[in-house]
Amino acid sequence: MLHPEPFRVQLGDRGRLVLPAEIRKRLNLREGDQLLVTVQPDGSLRLMSPHQVVRETRGLYRARAGHRSLADELIAERRTEAKRETQTP
């Protein structure tokens, strides 16, 4: 797990922000990678990689689905349908 140690960065030409090499290395970021930037209610900034956004989105759907995957639901429905078909004359 990453430790929340602060890094000092400077806003550069045309509002560019350069992430220190150590952060890029830890997060496996490469030149050209895109990040999602959100302003938090407390005024802080949050940077997220596309992978992190996907993980968090999946987590939200899992929580709403009651920890049951859509694939599991589909399989259960298909089994129920197959059982009905074999029971009807």
pTM: 0.51
Q: How confident is the model at residue 62 (pLDDT cuts 50, 70, 90)?
A: low
Mean pLDDT, rounded, for 56-84 = 78
Backbone angles phi, psi at 48, to 5 degrees: -130, 140
Tally of CB atoms within 10 A around 29: 16
Q: How confident is the model at residue 39 (pLDDT cuts 50, 70, 90)?
A: very high
Find out if CATH 2.60.40.2890 is the number for domain 13-87: no
Domain boundaries, the chain: 13-87
Mean pLDDT, rounded, for 5-23 = 90
Flag whether pLDDT at 3 surpasses 50.
yes
Residue 79 is encoded by which pair of tokens? 């089994």
